[in-house]
Amino acid sequence: MKLELVFSMMLFSGLASCQSPTKNNTQQATEKQEVAGLKADKTYVLPKKLNEISGITFLPADSQILYAIQDESGIVYSYNLTDEKITSEYVFADAGDYEEITTDGRFFFVLRSDGAIYSFPVDLQAAKTEVQIFEGQLGKGEYESMSYDSESKALYVLCKTCSLDKGNPAVSGYIVNVDASGKLSLKENFQINLDAVAALDGKSVKSLKPSSISKRSSSNEWYVLSSIDKLLLITDDTFQPKKVIRFEKKQFEQPEGITFDKENRMFISSEKNKAKNALLFQYNKQP
């Protein structure tokens, strides 16, 4: 069945009250997009197998094939953006709560919600018994966000809910080194200061529950997506907050994945809701 390609205009209706009543709808819509900093160039309706899409990534030299995982399935799906269809499925583990996927170009790394990380070659030929598992090294908590940084040759993993952050205005993370064989080792901790986010945003930020993270190499910035908090946080390379973009639920029902391709296009994936299939949003220009 041919998938429908939808061209989407991302609007922030919550900003309407800030517009002059003398301006027409087109002018208002344009200003909303500019303030929001997000305008989708394309929206893909994803197959039913990806209705609960939870993580997306590209190989460094390829912008054609998107690799994705979804909740509860230990499967990596290869999705062709031109043909708009799944081209392969690779089973790396039994069913489980898998939340994020990233790659260094040699290995894929998949994050389980308890902090375990699976690694296997990008040719997707390894048997399940050959998949390496890094577990029991991160602090107790729930995890949904992980990204590879080519500069430091390490994985950056963010807590969604961790006991380490209880009572503290911060989101903790872990840096995990990757060696030539794909073996992982814990390096150190880092934090995002929520008081700094609040100062930047002008709103109280008592907690932040990241659902995905990705490094934009062209600007050396981190993009942190939070489905629960309905925001996109942009930080510098040391995780100092630079910009907060808030969105409404009708724009993204449940955004769980964010990544960049080699052409520096940003992609955000959103799970299915009652009215829509799972969606993939493509942005040629980032905020």
Domain residues of the chain, as ranges? Answer: 5-283
Give the CB-side neighbour count of residue 186, counting CA atoms within 13 A.
Answer: 15
Neighbours of 273 (CB within 10 A): 15
The whole-number average pLDDT for the span 8-33 is: 33
Report the alpha-carbon distance of residue 233 to residue 246 in Å, rounded.
9
pLDDT range class, residue 23, cuts 50, 70, 90: very low
> Which CATH class, in words, describes the domain spanning 5-283?
mainly beta
On the question of pLDDT at 26 being above 70, the answer is no
pLDDT range class, residue 164, cuts 50, 70, 90: confident
Q: What pLDDT sits at residue 39?
A: 80
Neighbours of 8 (CB within 10 A): 15
Where is average pLDDT lowest: 3-12, 179-188, 194-203, 222-231? Answer: 3-12
On the question of pLDDT at 232 being above 60, the answer is yes
pLDDT range class, residue 142, cuts 50, 70, 90: very high
Q: What pLDDT sits at residue 37?
A: 61
188-226 pLDDT tens trace: 999 999 999 999 988 888 889 999 999 999 999 999 999
On the question of pLDDT at 237 being above 50, the answer is yes
Best CA proximity match to 147, nearest among 257, 286, 267, 263 = 257
- Residue 189 φ then ψ, to 5°: -100, 165
Structure tokens belonging to residue 158? 């963010």
Q: What pLDDT sits at residue 85?
A: 96
Instruction: Map tokens 């981190």 to a residue.
Output: 222
On the question of pLDDT at 93 being above 90, the answer is yes
96-140 pLDDT tens trace: 999 999 999 999 999 999 999 999 999 999 999 999 999 999 999
pLDDT range class, residue 86, cuts 50, 70, 90: very high
30-51 pLDDT tens trace: 333 333 567 889 999 999 999 9
Q: What pLDDT sits at residue 36?
A: 52
Q: What pLDDT sits at residue 181?
A: 86
